[in-house]
Structure 1
Amino acid sequence: METPTLSADDAALVARYLAHVRVEKRLAERTATLYGLDLDKLARFAAGAGVALAAVQGHHVRHWAARMHAAGRSGRGIALILSGWRGFYAWLGRQGLIAANPVQDVRAPRQPRPLPKALGVDEAVQLAEHADEPGDPWLDARDAAMVELLYGSGLRVGELIGLDVAPSDGALRAGRGWIDLPAAEVQVQGKGGKRRAVPLGRQAAAALRHWLALRGEAQIRGGGDAAAAGDAAQALFIGRRGTRLTAQSVWQRLKRRSLQAGLATPVHPHMLRHSFASHVLQSSGDLRAVQELLGHAHIGTTQVYTRLDFQHLARAYDAAHPRARRGK
C-alpha cells in the first residue's frame, strides 16, 4: 500500500507549529519530537482521506481514532495523540486558519480498568511468616508488624505510617490514627479526614506486641526540633534513628522482604491491601463489609474486587472441573 504524500502546505503548517512549541512554549526536545510524530500521523491520515489539515472535521478524527484502536493502540495512547492534535488545532484557530477545533469533542475509547494485583492466601502467609536469616531482630519485628497490619487490616501505606502508639491530643490535631490493643482495633485516619475503626487480628496483635517490646531500642531524635521529637516519640513505626517511617521506606522494606521470602513478584503495600480485600470477600461474600473495612466512600470503588473474586473462582473451576480442561 502506497504511503500518502503530504502536501507542501500541510508540511509547512506542521513545521510552523513545531517551531512554535519549541521556541515560544519552550517544550523539551523529546516532547517536541513526540508532538512531531503524532502530527505526522495526523497529516498522513488526512492525506489518505484526501483532505487538507485545515479542512479536517470531527467525523474524520473519530474515524481515525477508531482505526488506531482497531490496530491495537491503547485508550491511553490514543488519548495522548488526540491531546497533541487538539493543541495543534487550537493553535490553527488562534492563527485564524480554522473556525472550530475538530478534536475538541473527540474522546479516546475507554480503557478497561485493570484488576488489582493480589497475592494468593499461601503467598500472603508465606510473606507474613518470613523471618530474616540471620537478620536483625529489631527490623524483623517492625517489618513483620507492618506486614500484619497491611494484610490483616487492609490499611493504606499512608494510614500505616500515620499511626501512633496511643491516642493523644497531638494525634487528634494532626489527623493521625493509633493502635488500641485492649480493644483489638486500629483507629485509622483515612482519605478525606474520614475516621474508621478496623479490627485487629490475633496475629497482628501478637506481632505488634512483639514490636512494641523492642521499639524503644531506637534513639528518638528530632534534630533539635521539639515538634519533630514529639512526633517521633508517638510514631508507631520508626527507623533506627527514631524518626517516623516514610512511605518510600515501607515500599523498600516490603519489596526486600517479599524477595527474601521467595515470592515471584515484588510486593508493594497496596498489593497487601488488595489481598486483604480479595480474601475477605472470597470468604464472606459481603461486599458492604469490605467497603467499610477499606474506607471506600462509594461501593463502586469496592466492586472491582468482585471481578477479582470471580477470576479466582474461574481459575479454581479451570483447574478442577473435567469439562473445563478439554482444551489442554
Structure 2
Amino acid sequence: MDDDIARHLVHLEVERRLAPRTLAIYRDAFERLRAFTEKHAVPLREVQVHHVRRWAAQLHAQGLAPRSIALVLSAWRGLYRWLGRDALVALNPVEGVRAPKAAKPLPKALPVDQAMALADHHAPPEEAGDARLDARDHCIVELLYGCGLRVGELTGLDVGASAQAAGWIDAADASAHVLGKGSKRRSVPVGAAALSALRRWLELRGEIAQPGEPALFVSQRGTRLTASQLRSRLKRRAIQAGLPTHVHPHMLRHSFASHLLQSSGDLRAVQELLGHADISTTQVYTRLDFGHLSKVYDAAHPRARRK
C-alpha cells in the first residue's frame, strides 16, 4: 500500500482511535484508490478532480451502491485533507465531488387484506393476557391505520382537550386533533371502527392509568405509553394475527395513505390527511401499486383492450 495511505491509516487508528470495523471500511476505500492510481499511472499526490469524478462513475458502473460510494469518497476526502495539512498536496481533488443520489426506497405498506386482518384481530384469552391492554392495542391499530397518524402524534394524544394537550380526539365530532411535524396542527376524521375501539378502551383505561395522568394511551404502569413500547406491542400483535412481515407503526400510516389513494385517487386530500407540507412527499404513494393501476388501465382504457 502507498506510504501516504499507510501513514494515514496509522493516524486514524492511533490518533483518532477509530473502531476496527470503521478502519476496515477506510482500508477498503484506500485499496480502491490505490488500484485506480496504479491502473491509470497517476501518483497519489497528483490525483485531480477529473480523476476522482471518473473513478466514482466507474464504481457506480460496477454496481457499488450510492451510499457505499459516498463512504469511499468521504475516506478519500479525509486522506487528501490530511495530506494538505502537511502541504503534501496543493488541493483536495475530492472536495466538491459527490456520490450519485440514492434512489428513495418506496414506503412499505401492507396489502389491504393484511391490514384488515390486523385491525380486526382479537387475541384469544390465552394469548391476549391483560384484556385491558388488548383493548388498548386494538384502539391503537385502528387509529394508526384508520387515521394515518404518526407514532408521536398518537402517543401525544390526551384524554381530553386542554391548553397543554398536544392532541386529543373529539368523539362527538368524530375527529382527531394532533400536533404534527414542525408543530403544525391538523385535524383528521376518525372512522366508526376506531371510535368503537376508543369507547371500549376508555371504559377500561381508568383501571390502569395513574391518577391525574392525561395521556390517552398508558402503559401497564399507568403512565404515558412510549413509542418503543408501542412498537413492541404492535410487533407482538402482528405476529398473533399471523402476518408474514414485520409491522411497525409507520407501515400502518403508509397503508392508510396507499389504500386511500388507490380508492379515491385524490392526491391533494391524502396530502392534507397526512399533514405533508409538500405534495411531492405524498406522490411517493402513487408508485406503490403500479400493478393495481395497470389493471385499472387494462380494464377501462379503450386502447388497452385486447380482442
**Residue 118 of structure 1 contacts residue 274 of structure 1 at CA under 8 Å; is this kept in 2?**
yes
Counterparts of 1:273 and 1:137, CA distance in 2: 25
Counterparts of 1:120 and 1:294, CA distance in 2: 19
Q: Tell me which residue corresponds to 1:245.
A: 225
Counterparts of 1:145 and 1:130, CA distance in 2: 11
Q: Tell me which residue corresponds to 1:95.
A: 86
1:261 paired to 2:241: yes
Q: CA deviation at 1:143?
A: 0.5
AA partner of residue 133 (structure 2): L
User: Which segment is superposed worse, 98-107 or 154-163?
Assistant: 98-107
Give structure 1 stretches of 5+ with no counterpart. Answer: 1-5, 221-228
Counting aligned pairs with the same residue, the percent is 61
Which of 25, 30, 51 is 1:39 aligned to? 30
AA partner of residue 307 (structure 1): R
What are the residue-to-residue correspondences of 1:148-297 with 2, within 5 Å? 148-171=142-165, 176-220=166-210, 230=212, 233-297=213-277
Question: Match of 2:288, SS?
Answer: helix
Counterparts of 2:99 and 2:109, CA distance in 1: 29
Q: CA deviation at 1:315?
A: 7.0
Provide Cα deviations, 1:140-176, integer angstroms capped at 9, x if missing partner.
Answer: 11001000000000000010100001012322xxxx1
Provide Cα deviations, 1:108-166, integer angstroms capped at 9, x if missing partner.
Answer: 11111111110111111100011112223211110010000000000000101000010
RMSD of aligned C-alpha atoms?
A: 2.0
Question: Match of 2:255, SS?
Answer: helix
Counterparts of 1:306 and 1:98, CA distance in 2: 49
> TM-score under structure 1 normalisation?
0.87
Aligned length: 299
Which of 131, 141, 146 is 1:137 aligned to? 131
What are the residue-to-residue correspondences of 1:305-324 with 2, within 5 Å? 305-314=285-294
**Residue 281 of structure 1 contacts residue 309 of structure 1 at CA under 8 Å; is this kept in 2?**
no
User: Which segment is superposed worse, 76-85 or 25-34?
Assistant: 25-34
**Residue 287 of structure 1 contacts residue 303 of structure 1 at CA under 8 Å; is this kept in 2?**
yes
Q: CA deviation at 1:30?
A: 2.2
Question: Match of 1:110, SS?
Answer: coil
AA partner of residue 91 (structure 1): W
- Structure 1 residues 271, 239: closer, same or farther in 2, change over 3 A? same
**Residue 209 of structure 2 contacts residue 218 of structure 2 at CA under 8 Å; is this kept in 1?**
no
**Residue 179 of structure 2 contacts residue 185 of structure 2 at CA under 8 Å; is this kept in 1?**
yes
Q: CA deviation at 1:317?
A: 7.4
Counterparts of 2:219 and 2:91, CA distance in 1: 58
Counterparts of 1:54 and 1:44, CA distance in 2: 14
Q: Tell me which residue corresponds to 2:281.
A: 301
Q: Tell me which residue corresponds to 1:71.
A: 62
> TM-score under structure 2 normalisation?
0.93
Q: Tell me which residue corresponds to 1:29.
A: 20
User: Which segment is superposed worse, 102-111 or 304-313?
Assistant: 304-313
- Structure 1 residues 93, 311: closer, same or farther in 2, change over 3 A? farther
1:49 paired to 2:29: no
Question: Match of 1:102, SS?
Answer: coil
Q: CA deviation at 1:218?
A: 0.7
Give structure 2 stretches of 5+ with no counterpart. Answer: none
**Residue 150 of structure 1 contacts residue 156 of structure 1 at CA under 8 Å; is this kept in 2?**
yes
Provide Cα deviations, 1:181-237, integer angstroms capped at 9, x if missing partner.
Answer: 0010000000111000010011001110011011111151xxxxxxxx64xx11000
